[in-house]
Structure 1
Amino acid sequence: MSAPRLPPLPTIRDILKLYNLSATKRLSQNFLLDENITNKIVAKAGNISGGQVLEVGPGPGGLTRSILKKIPERLVVVEKDERFKPTLEMLADSFGAINGKMDIIYDDILKTNIENLFPLDKKRNWNDKSPDIFIIGNLPFNLATYLIIQWLHAISEQRGPWAFGRTKMTLTFQKEVAERLVAPPMGDQRCRLSVMAQTWTFPVLRFIIPGKAFVPKPDVDVGVVSFTPLVKPRTQYDFKFFERITRHIFNFRQKYSIRCIETLFPKEYRKDLGLMTYKLADLEPTLRPTQLTIEDINKLATAYKYLLEKHPELKLYNYRTSRHLLPLSNTKDIIVQDCAEILEENIGMSI
């Protein structure tokens, strides 16, 4: 038997005209109308046939059609803008005509309890291959970076869609953001986002979509990035702690990385504790932030944690808000003496 096919549907352009729909600048909407491109995005998402798919921000349904053509077991779309209700319901009815199931949720993806969207029988152990659950989305530019950070955090804690295992994502970003996500050490685009994405997932830049393919045409091109969660993350630290270290490291991209690490400490102890951190991590203070590997940053995190254990008061320091010397129980001389003792204690220590 041949695979079921969707009934004939009007084009997305015709639907936009029929319902007098246009992109809303406030929601950073850009519609992707080229079916060849939407088919290509779906192809890069993997074998979604018979699987569970979540589409984020379907809009008028261009990408949705390409997903439905692969006949997933179930498609859930989350759309904030209810103007697209007629077009999405049309697609749901068409999919239902071939015994498919498409659910539409009109909500903000940031407020949606995604974990409740999938059946428990799809759950797999983290060490197993990825479950038959896929997240696909042509994300609004104003949401994409914030959303991926939130989802990386969820991946690190194996919650939300990642309570079911190593759920894969295929998402669009501004070209520059897409390049940052996959940027290697020494790369011009290397930044905090690169490190956080590559610590918990294997991100791959699949291809670039020219801006002219969207309506309205954005000022930038768009990159399609796929993410596969790693079986074992590249750090043993929790997301917030590791993100804090990484954020400080990339505070001043053009300076030596030790100048960035120093901002973790009060001004009065900054030079000594910054140098101590690098000594413990066995790294050169003159390395630039973009030169540091994830393993290097993990070493710096270990050294910083060790110093926090020695001087718990340092946890109270915040570079952005602290203006005065912390009420440390130690004077600067004692801090320096402690640093010397730590060095002596940890000669040959593996971090």
Structure 2
Amino acid sequence: MGDCLPPLREVIAAHGLSASKSLGQNFLFDEQLLNRIAAIPGDLSDRNVLEVGPGPGGLTRALLRAGAQVTAIEMDRRCLPALAELGEAFPGRLTVIEGDALKMDHDALFDGAPYAILSNLPYNVGTALFTRWMGGEAWPPNWTSLTLMFQQEVAQRIVAQPGSSAYGRLAVLAQWRGIARLAMKVHRSAFTPPPKVMSAIVHVQPAAMPEGVSAAKLQAVTAAAFGQRRKMLRQSLKGVAGAPDALETLGIDPQRRAETLSIDEFVAIARALTR
């Protein structure tokens, strides 16, 4: 089952597909590489998997071969016939939904059951989707892990440590109640067409959420602090109600800049504002 599929290049040629620049598409053809990506979150046998932007179905194949039950959201209808053929090769294991993933309730697609998210995300929606998956007030989320391909620069911002130039809102969002790691770098030459930049895969698992902290408050603090990252905290946070008092109460020097604060310090500020 699924082993008689033609090579991806032939599928793309047969359906006259080319990567759409406006949709941020870049196709991956290397099946060994795709199998390695599908293996990052562990055994997928009979597990629900959400894939956003499957395109012609390169990663989808690898997920199906790994035994996953895949729900794929694709807004490029040119790709739907190729995905339909894939569904026929793996009967009952692939559900394709046409539409915009940013406008959908992903939990509802699985009736509240847990699911893993694996995706070679289109570059133009990757950060928005990641922010949404990591940003909900309800925690732990219904998703069990995120395995996502980003531009390498974005991936490095997600796993960055305090004090580094890459450290910012994405790092705090990913790490204050999650465990984020850089799982694999992917050379630009692996894609068709090759993007101008290198790519990398980030793997994130939910961790315990600190008590007494609102996710919205934390996001407000980090947005203000990193929105003017060259300014001292007393300047950047003055528009956040209660933040100057919180700095004083917590003994955080208001002359420090955002990139010097640890994630625990950001959490402490948000906790003080949540009370």
Same fold (TM over 0.5): yes
Residue 263 of structure 2: aligned partner: 294
* Aligned twin of 1:340: none
Structure 2 counterpart of 1:342: none
For residue 253 of structure 1, report the CA deviation from its aligned partner. 1.9
Of 253, 268, 272, which residue of structure 2 is paired with 1:284? 253
Look up the SS of the partner of 2:176 in the other structure. helix
What residue in structure 1 maps to residue 67 of structure 2?
Answer: 71
Partner of 2:20: 24
Alpha carbons 1:203, 1:228 under 8 Å: kept: yes
Equivalent of residue 101 in structure 1, options 62, 73, 93: 93
Q: How far does the alpha carbon of each residue in 1:10-53 deviate from its partner, in whole angstroms, 9 at most, with x for none?
A: 11111111111101111111111111221111111221012111
TM-superposed CA distance for 1:304, in Å, is 4.5
Whole-angstrom CA distance in 2 between matches of 1:277 and 1:113: 35
Tell me how far 1:201 sits from its aligned partner: 1.5
CA separation in 1, counterparts of 2:187 and 2:51? 22
Q: Give 4+ residue runs of structure 1 displaced > 3 Å after superposition.
A: 273-277, 302-306
Aligned twin of 1:268: none
In the alignment, structure 1 residue 227 sits paired with structure 2 residue 195: no
Match runs of 1:156-171 below 5 Å: 156-158=137-139, 162=141, 164=142, 167-171=144-148
Higher-helix-fraction structure = 1
SS at match of 2:125: helix
Question: What SS class does the counterpart of residue 86 from structure 1 fall into?
Answer: helix
Instruction: Label 1:283 to 1:22 Cα distance change in 2 as closer, same or farther (>3 A).
Output: same
Deviation of 1:251 after TM superposition, in Å, equals 2.1
Moved more, 111-120 or 242-251: 111-120
What one-letter code is carried by the residue in structure 2 that aligns with 1:105? I
TM-score, normalised via structure 2 length: 0.92
C-alpha deviation, 1:70, in angstroms:
0.9
Match of 1:87 among 82, 97, 118: 82
Which residue identity does 2:79 align to in structure 1?
F
| Map of 1:110 onto structure 2 | 102
CA distance in 2, matches of 1:219, 1:65: 26
Structure 1 residue runs without a partner (length 5+): 124-130, 266-272, 307-351
Residue in 1 that maps onto 2:227:
251
Distance 1:118 1:303, change over 3 A: closer
Cα separation, partners in 2 of 1:302 and 1:134, compared to 1, 3 Å: closer
Could you give the per-residue CA deviations for residues 289-313 of structure 1, whole angstroms, max 9, x where no partner exists?
Answer: 111012211232344457xxxxxxx
Letter in 2 for 1:289: A
C-alpha contact (below 8 Å) 1:235/1:298 kept by paired residues = no
**Structure 2: gaps (5+ residues):** none
Q: Given the superposition, is the C-alpha separation of residues 188 and 101 from structure 1 closer, same or farther in structure 2, using an over 3 Å criterion?
A: same
Matches within 5 A, 1:196-345: 196-230=173-207, 232-234=208-210, 236-264=212-240, 276-304=245-273
The one-letter code sitting in structure 1 at the alignment partner of 2:26 is N
RMSD (Å), alpha carbons: 2.0
C-alpha distance in structure 2 between counterparts of 1:305 and 1:262, whole Å: 17
How far is 1:181 from its partner? 0.5
Whether the 8 Å CA contact 2:179–2:206 is kept in 1: the answer is yes
- Distance across 2 between alignment mates of 1:236 and 1:12: 49
Cα distance in 2 for residues equivalent to 1:304 and 1:70: 45
Of 181, 198, 218, the match for 2:158: 181
Q: TM-score, normalised by structure 1?
A: 0.73
Deviation (angstroms), 1:258: 2.6
State the structure with more CA Rg.
1
Q: Secondary structure at the match of 2:118?
A: strand
**CA–CA distance in structure 1, aligned partners of residues 139 and 252 of structure 2:** 32
- Equivalent in 28, 41, 46 of residue 42 of structure 2: 46
Cα displacement (A) at 1:119: 5.2
